[in-house]
Amino acid sequence: MAAKRARGQLRRLVYESQVLRTNPLGDPSERDLWCYLPPGFDESQRYPVLFVLAGYLGRGRGELSDGAWSPPLDERLDRMHATFEAEPVIVVFPDCQTRLGGSQYLNSQAIGRYEDYVCDELVPFVDAQLPTKGDGHRGVLGKSSGGYGALRLAMRRPGVFHGVASHSGDCAFDLVYAPDFANCARQIAASGGIDAFLEAFFGAPKKRQEQIEAFMVLAMSAAYSPLSPAAIAGMPADPDKKSIAATFELPFDLTDLRRKDPVWKRWLANDPIEMLDTPSHADALRQLRVLFVDVGTRDEYNLDFGARRLRAKMDALGIRHRYEEFDDGHRGLSYRFERSIPLLSRMLT
């Protein structure tokens, strides 16, 4: 009989956020923070810690759910530890879900301060609650919007994270988002306006794929092109009385899809490829101990082409990184954590 594999522990922490208390969507400020503690966990020892950021429409604990042919991430971690592929590491799963399906892990007047939530609140909270090694031994990773968030936080907050893995992370916004603008305009026109579309969307017992794709464009607009604080300040404080559509600008005209250049520039200012034109952002990535980027060669959002642009930009700027392409699309990529987590755990131990 095969020896029983040692298992890690799952621990649920609860954190009451101060920066999310007055978020404009009325989303909860008290949230669970699920944590994976490795097999043989010892409170007297210190461990590196990895923050796993969920993709759009997901939340942290989602990675701890299994599928018909896909084990939960805690089981994958147990196996990686049992085979000595990964060093003992604490893994935490922040909940940054919002009424709009996600936050992109940034600060937005229309969504909330999720960059601050992760970096200024959860990082010190985890260090206080668990025996982490602290600064210099902390990594961040994710898939899709989570991979985008990992890369963006590393650029925006140098010194907070020293290892990053971006699996199929959003980049090259003209390739990943712009193809959905036409469908978004059609869905809004058919509904009679953005507010009517949102009301129907939130009330629908089942969301159609074309509705979800249009909704995602609105969510990204709230993330990348919110109205100014002064403009939003004059709106009702009660989220139920506030028009979500009035808190952001679309980067295109709903009638003929003409690009609104000033708004589109605000989007591009959040594109990781464009962000690297800012010297401090490039310097932040150069300081990392490890940077891992990968993408499927059949990505439905054209991120294989975007990742190649990102790779070329990082090469030109002298940013050390490991880059991989694999034969797959955009979804069902949790198995790719088995490429990044061993690398991060070794480099951050």
Contact criterion met (CB below 8 Å) for 148 and 169 = yes
Give the residue-averaged pLDDT of 29-40. Answer: 98
Q: Which pLDDT score, from 0 to 100, does residue 230 have?
A: 64
Rounded Cα–Cα distance for residues 338 and 190 (Å): 44
Give the amino acid at 48.
P
> What angle separates helix 261-268 from helix 209-224, to the nearest 10 degrees?
90
CA distance readout (Å), 185 to 22, 79, 302? 31, 46, 21
Q: Which pLDDT score, from 0 to 100, does residue 232 have?
A: 67
Q: How deeply is 144 buried, as exposed, middle or buried, from its count of CB atoms within 10 A (0-12, 13-18, 19+)?
A: buried
Q: Which pLDDT score, from 0 to 100, does residue 302 have?
A: 98
List, in sequence order, the alpha helices (H) in the chain.
73-82, 114-116, 123-129, 145-156, 173-176, 181-191, 194-203, 209-224, 229-233, 261-268, 272-275, 279-286, 303-316, 337-348
Residue (of 175, 138, 163, 159) closest to 272 by Cα position:
175
List 33's β-bridge partners, or say none. Answer: 13
Q: Residue 127 is encoded by which pair of tokens?
A: 């260090």
Q: Which pLDDT score, from 0 to 100, does residue 247 have?
A: 94
Q: Give me the half-sphere count of Cα atoms (radius 13 Å) on the Cβ side of residue 254.
A: 16
Give the residue-averaged pLDDT of 113-125. Answer: 99
pTM, entire model: 0.95
For residue 240, is pLDDT > 90?
A: no
Residue (of 274, 284, 270, 269) closest to 320 by Cα position:
284
For residue 340, is pLDDT > 90?
A: yes
Q: Average pLDDT of the chain?
A: 95
Q: Residue 18 is encoded by which pair of tokens?
A: 């101060």
Which class is 9-172+272-348 in CATH? alpha beta
Residue 1 pLDDT level (bands cut at 50, 70, 90):
very low
Domain boundaries, the chain: 9-172+272-348, 176-267
For residue 28, is pLDDT > 80?
A: yes
Q: Which pLDDT score, from 0 to 100, does residue 238 have?
A: 61
Q: Which pLDDT score, from 0 to 100, does residue 60 have?
A: 85
Rounded Cα–Cα distance for residues 87 and 83 (Å): 10
Tens-digit pLDDT profile for residues 135-191:
999 999 999 999 999 999 999 999 999 999 999 999 999 999 999 999 999 999 999
Tens-digit pLDDT profile for residues 206-236:
999 999 999 999 999 999 999 977 666 666 6
